[in-house]
Homo-oligomer: A and B are copies of this chain.
Amino acid sequence: MTNSNTQHVVGHLINGVARDDASRTQEVYNPSTGEISKYVAIASQATVEEAITAAQAAFPAWRDTPVIKRARVMFKFKELLEQNADKICELIGQEHGKILHDAAGELQRGIENVEYACSAPEFLKGEFSKNVGPNIDSWSEFQPLGVVAGITPFNFPAMVPLWMYPMAIVCGNCFILKPSERDPSSTLFIAQLLKQAGLPDGVMNVVNGDKVAVDTLLHDPRIQAVSFVGSTPIAEYIYATATSTGKRCQALGGAKNHAIVMPDADLDNVVSSLLGAAFGSSGERCMALSVAVAVGDEVADRLIECLSQQIQGLKFGCYADKSNDFGPVITQQHKNKVVGYINSAEQDGAKIVVDGRQAAPQGFENGFFVGPTLIDQVRPDMLSYKEEIFGPVLQIVRVQTMQQAMDLINQHEYGNGTCIYTRDGEAARYFSDHIQVGMVGINIPLPVPVAYHSFGGWKRSLFGDLYAYGPDGARFYTRRKTITQRWPSANVREGAQFSMPTLN
C-alpha cells in the first residue's frame, strides 16, 4: 500500500541517516481515537541489505573502540533518554495507546538496561589463568559477533528494543533493529538519540517493515545473531529459521502467567497488585497476570468480591489523560480477538463477573477499547485458558490445594512468569523450587528481572539457551575466544610430542 503524503511517513535509520522514502507503507493508528495518524515505511530486501552493509562497514572501527569508550556512549544515551522522556512517552501513547504514566514506567525500565550497559567494563572481563601448564597462560576474551539483529513487538516499543541493542552495541557489535510496524515512532526517535550520544554512524540501524524485512535478516549470512520477542508461533519460526542458516538465536514467545492466591495471603495486597498486573497496559504485556488461581473456595469468593468491587473504580480511556488506569488495545482486529476469547469463555460455561466487552469511553467511541473483564469458574480445557488473550481480562481458576495450582501451571505450555501470594516461607520456597516457570514472584505480581539479571521464560515461552539482557545478554552478544600462550626460551628445546598433550 502506498500513500501520497510522505510528510507523515515513519522511515528508517541507516548509517546514521533518517530515511523516510518508501515505496511501500502501512497505516499507523492512534488506538485511543481509532484514526490513522501516520504511515510507516515498509522496507524492501534491498533497503535491509543496505542497512546490513552499513553495519558491517562500521564494525571494524567499533569493535576496536575501547570498551570504556563504548560504555560512555551509553552514559550519554541515558542522559538523553531522561531529557527526552516526555517526548518519548507522548509518541508511545499516541501509537500504542498506553497511558503516559505507564509509558514512563516502560521507558524507565528501558533506561535501566542502558544503565547496565554502562557496566560493560565489568561484565566483559575475561578469565585469566596463569600457569595452566609450566609457563603457559590461558585466558578468554569475549569478542563481538559482528552485525546482529533484533525483532521486537508492538507492546513495548521503547523497552524491548532497549533490552537488546544497548547490550549488543556496548559489546562491540553493530545492530539492525526491525521494530513493530504498529507503533514505530518512539523506537525510531530513541535510536536517533544514539548519534547525539556519540555513536558512530552505521553501528545502529533501524528498518521498519514486515515479513520481507524479517526474512532478509534471517537469511543474510552477514547477520550473526537474532534476538526476537513476540508470539510463540513466530518465535518458533524465527528460532528454526535463524538456526537453520547457522546463526545463534534467542526467541522469546508468549505467556500465560498465573498467580496462586494462598489462604494466608494478604488479600488487600493481592487485590490491588492483581488489578495492576492484569489490566495495566490493557493486559498487553508478556508478563501480564491473566489467571488467578485461588486455593480454596473461601479465598476465591473473597477475592472475586474484592476484585469486582475495585474494578468498578478503574478508569480507562485516552492515553493522554493521566487519571486513566489503562488505555485501548492496539488495533480493532485485536479488540475483536479479545472479545472473542471472552465470548468463548462464556459459551464454555465460565461466569463473566465483570464484562468489558461494551467499552466505549465518552469522546473516544471509535477507540479500540475493551473494559476490565473478570471471569470466574474458568477451567483448564477452555480456549480462553489455553491461549494468551493479551487483553484486560482476568480469569479465576478455583482449586483445592496448592499442589493442584502448581500442577495447573506446570502443565500449561507457557512458562514465562508466575507469582504466589503467601506469608509462609515454606510454601514460597517449595513453589519457587518446583514451578516450571522462568520468572517467579513471591508476592510480586510482575516479577520482571531487573536489568542486572536476565529475562526469560521456560518451556514454549523461550527458545534458545541464553536469556535477554543482563549477564546472559552479554554472553549472547559475544563470541568466546580462548588464547593459550607460551613463549619460547632460547635454550630450552623440547622433543616432539605425539600424545594428546596435557598442559600440566
Contacts and interface: CB of A to CB of B under 8 A. Distances in A.
Contacts of A325: 496, 498
A342 to B, nearest CB: 20
B502 A105 contact: yes
A466 B466 contact: yes
Copies in the complex: 4
B446 A501 contact: yes
A78 interface: yes
Interface string A399-428: 000000000000000000000001111101
Contacts of A483: 432, 440-442, 447
Interface string A205-226: 0000000000000000000010
A129 B143 CA distance: 11
Nearest to A501: B446
A230 to B, nearest CB: 15
A69 B132 CA distance: 9
A58 B281 CA distance: 39
Q: Which of A78, A273, A455 has the most CB of B within 10 A?
A: A273
Contacts of A504: 66, 68-69
**For the side of the interface on A, what is the size category?**
35 or more
Contacts of A281: 498, 500
A475 B465 contact: yes
Contact of A482 (B65, B438, B500): B438
A126 B119 contact: no
Given A109-B500, A498-B275, A66 B99 contact: no
Given A68-B504, A438-B481, A466-B466, A443 B246 contact: no
Q: Which of A135, A143, A475, A504 has the most CB of B within 10 A?
A: A504
Given A127-B127, A269-B488, A463-B246, A480 B454 contact: yes
B112 A141 contact: no
A486 to B, nearest CB: 5
Nearest to A443: B486
A178 interface: no
Interface in A321-344: 325-326
Interface in A444-461: 444, 446-456, 458, 460
A138 interface: yes
Interface stretch (A12-20, A48-56, A237-245, A352-360): A237-245
A497 interface: yes
Contacts of A118: 75, 115, 118-119
Interface in A81-138: 99, 101-102, 104-106, 108-109, 112, 115-116, 118-119, 121-138
Contact of A109 (B279, B496, B502): B502
A106 B486 CA distance: 21
A64 interface: yes
8 A-B pairs closest in CB distance: A105-B500, A426-B487, A266-B488, A119-B119, A105-B499, A126-B128, A442-B485, A243-B243
Interface of A: 64-69, 71-72, 75, 78-79, 99, 101-102, 104-106, 108-109, 112, 115-116, 118-119, 121-141, 143, 159, 225, 236, 239-240, 243-244, 246, 248-249, 265-266, 268-269, 271-273, 275-276, 279-281, 285, 310, 325-326, 422-426, 428-429, 432-433, 437-444, 446-456, 458, 460, 463-467, 471-472, 475-476, 479-490, 493-504
19 contacts: A65-B131, A118-B119, A125-B129, A128-B139, A130-B143, A138-B450, A140-B453, A268-B493, A273-B494, A276-B498, A325-B498, A422-B425, A423-B424, A425-B485, A428-B487, A429-B485, A432-B483, A441-B483, A454-B482
